Chain A
Amino acid sequence: MDPLLKVESLSKHFGGFTALNGVSLEIVQGERFGLIGPNGSGKTTLINCISGALWNDSGSIRFQGSEISKLPAYQRTRLGIARSFQIPRPFHSMSLLENLLVPSAYVVHLRESEGEAEAMKILAMMGLADKARGLASQLSQVELRKLELARAMAARPRLLISDEAMAGLAGAEVDEVLKILFELNAQGITIIMIEHIMQAVMRFSQRVVCLDAGAIICEGTPAAIVQNPDVQRAYLGA
């Protein structure tokens, strides 16, 4: 079976700095995939290249068998790649419901009434239903993270990229977000999780890749990754 996402020898430079150096990976349909690595290792650059926020310098990105690395971000979203942002970027002048209506109008092309029904369903699943008519600028941190995921879901993605959706959250809140991600995966959505909270990413992922200095240093099951000496060195600097 073809992988859902196939990244081949992807490179990205900023001036003289190499952010990504020949990264290749494959993600299959329905997988829960974890991406870890120390600060500045290139995790966010990698998903920015996949989602289209940045252009890669060389290499290829294939989604469902077709090359997408030359497409603008909005077209990648229409093909089925949605993401959340590490620092939440809500449409702050809109209500939560309207936030979700943006992708439902521009990606799924739903009529207003259908869009609202679907958006309410997603908000309910995230536990945000009672705030649907409130402004996005009045949410707490954990609610903002959930809104990020909800808005991504309103695009009906096949692949969801969750960029540090749990950073800065307390233990119980981490569990809440983790539960939501498990539910989404159960609905058949492939998920890439980028996370600093080791315990969360290890619990969630079926397979983990560790980046360091723009290159993959190892790949395997969570248990194998924790034992890997390269990972320990990258993280502890030992």
Chain B
Amino acid sequence: MTYWIGAGLLFLAALGLALSGMNEYFFYAGYVVLTFVVLATAWNILGGYAGYVNFGTGAFFGLGSYSAVVLFKALGAPLAVQIVAAAAVGAALGFGVGMLTLRLRGIFFAIATVAILFITETLMVNWRYVGGATGLQLLRPEVMAPFASYTRMLFVVMALLAVLAVSVARYVQVSWIGRGLRAIRDSEEAAECSGVPTLKLKLFACAVSGALMGAAGAPMPMYLSFIEPASSFSLNWGVSALAMPMIGGTAHWIGPVVGALLLGSIQQIVTVTISNEINVLVVGVLLVLFVVLAPDGVVGLFRKWIRSSR
């Protein structure tokens, strides 16, 4: 119950900010940070809970963006429809990736997700309708009533998606599904022999994770007023979506949120003040540091600190 009140208040705060006179840049940067909250949370459902490392977040995210653009260009579909469709496409791709877990684990699975990333990118590069390698300029529709700008509206939409993603991850973690996924991560054979329907649970985790990643990609073309394959399907989405939960802590739903807020904010500051390259370097260095020195992430460090100060 406390969770729902907290989540509701946070969302209302986001809405309130968007309607206030706050500087436009805050929403421009905040949107990206919230996108990372969704991606990191989605990644953690499969990677953190079930132990299947997905390097191909960009494939889900990019296909989500492209689904939205296709619907927008062909039918002029509204944003809500675009997001739902992107989630469906993400879930379908997730289901396909889930079938791979029948045969592949560990690095084999991870490398297969990189392959899927590059294959989906190549498909989009060669699809004229969506602009091929050069991409498409997009004209934003008129912004809806209470919002002063389109970016503010997208900020609120992404805040809603973030609350949704975190709620789903939290439900998965605390329910019987979470215990099954943890069992799969520790030993798949033993899980199966303990009555856990491992394939079903893995397909579920892949599809949910994929749907959330796809949904997170849907508003991106409108945010940029532009779409092109190289940045939509970048491997950088994958490293961020992996690094944020690893840095925040993978065992608890709050971990990816902490990691995404922390790393996402640092990235936004670094991008503005220094350079775009440094921000990828920050992700890489922090990822390696945490994986080596604090395997349980910020959440783990915090727990240790609480225990020792008692």
Set A98, A101, A151: member contacting B190, Cβ < 8 A: A151
Contact with A along B23-36 (1 / 0, CB 8 A): 00000000000000
CB distance from B56 to the nearest CB of A (A): 25
A77 touching B195, Cβ below 8 Å: yes
Q: Measured between alpha carbons, how far is A98 from B185 in the docked complex, in Å?
A: 14
A73 touching B186, Cβ below 8 Å: no
Q: Which B residues are in CB contact (< 8 Å) with A102?
A: 179-180, 183, 191, 194-196
How many CB-defined contacts (below 8 Å) exist between A and B? 78
A90 touching B187, Cβ below 8 Å: yes
Q: Is A74 an interface residue (CB 8 A)?
A: yes
A74 touching B190, Cβ below 8 Å: no
Interface size on B, residues (CB 8 A): 20
Q: Which B residues are in CB contact (< 8 Å) with A152?
A: 193
Q: Is B170 an interface residue (CB 8 A)?
A: no
Within 8 A of A (CB), among B176-222: 176, 179-180, 182-183, 185-187, 189-199
Q: Which B residues are in CB contact (< 8 Å) with A72?
A: 192, 197, 199
Q: Which B residues are in CB contact (< 8 Å) with A78?
A: 195
A89 touching B196, Cβ below 8 Å: no
B192 touching A91, Cβ below 8 Å: no
CB distance from B246 to the nearest CB of A (A): 15
Q: Is A139 an interface residue (CB 8 A)?
A: no
Q: Which A residues are in CB contact (< 8 Å) with B182?
A: 91, 93-94
Set B179, B180, B183, B194: member contacting A77, Cβ < 8 A: B194
CB distance from B183 to the nearest CB of A (A): 5
Chain A residues touching B, range:
20 to 34
Q: Measured between alpha carbons, how far is A52 from B199 in the docked complex, in Å?
A: 14
Q: Measured between alpha carbons, how far is A52 from B195 in the docked complex, in Å?
A: 11
Q: Measured between alpha carbons, how far is A73 from B180 in the docked complex, in Å?
A: 15
CB distance from A69 to the nearest CB of B (A): 16
Within 8 A of B (CB), among A159-201: none
Q: Main SS of chain B's interface residues?
A: helix
B193 touching A105, Cβ below 8 Å: no
Q: Which B residues are in CB contact (< 8 Å) with A103?
A: 194-195
CB distance from A212 to the nearest CB of B (A): 26
Q: Which A residues are in CB contact (< 8 Å) with B251?
A: 93
B187 touching A89, Cβ below 8 Å: yes
Within 8 A of B (CB), among A41-80: 51-53, 72-74, 77-78
B195 touching A107, Cβ below 8 Å: yes
Q: Which A residues are in CB contact (< 8 Å) with B189?
A: 53, 85, 89
Q: Which B residues are in CB contact (< 8 Å) with A53?
A: 189, 192-193
In the complex, residue of chain A having the shortest beta-carbon distance to the beta carbon of B184: A91
CB distance from B101 to the nearest CB of A (A): 14
Set B185, B186, B187, B196: member contacting A106, Cβ < 8 A: B196
B186 touching A90, Cβ below 8 Å: yes
A89 touching B190, Cβ below 8 Å: yes
Set A74, A92, A105, A154: member contacting B186, Cβ < 8 A: A92
A93 touching B185, Cβ below 8 Å: yes
In the complex, residue of chain B having the shortest beta-carbon distance to the beta carbon of A84: B193
CB distance from A141 to the nearest CB of B (A): 17
Q: Measured between alpha carbons, how far is A92 from B187 in the docked complex, in Å?
A: 8
Q: Using A73-B193, A91-B190 as known contacts, say yes or no to A101 and B199 having CB atoms under 8 A apart.
A: no
B185 touching A105, Cβ below 8 Å: no
In the complex, residue of chain B having the shortest beta-carbon distance to the beta carbon of A137: B186
Q: Which B residues are in CB contact (< 8 Å) with A154?
A: 194
Set B180, B185, B190, B197: member contacting A90, Cβ < 8 A: B190
Within 8 A of B (CB), among A104-121: 105-107
Closest 8 CB pairs of A and B: A107-B195, A106-B195, A91-B186, A89-B187, A89-B190, A103-B194, A73-B192, A77-B195
- Extra 14 A-B pairs, beta carbons < 8 Å, given A52-B193, A53-B193, A102-B195: A52-B192, A73-B193, A77-B193, A77-B195, A85-B190, A89-B186, A89-B190, A91-B182, A91-B190, A93-B182, A93-B185, A102-B191, A106-B176, A106-B197
Could you write out 29 A-B pairs with CB less than 8 Å apart?
A52-B192, A52-B193, A53-B189, A72-B192, A74-B192, A74-B195, A74-B196, A77-B193, A77-B194, A89-B187, A90-B187, A90-B190, A91-B190, A92-B186, A93-B185, A93-B186, A94-B183, A98-B179, A101-B179, A102-B191, A103-B195, A105-B176, A106-B194, A106-B195, A106-B196, A106-B197, A107-B194, A107-B195, A155-B194
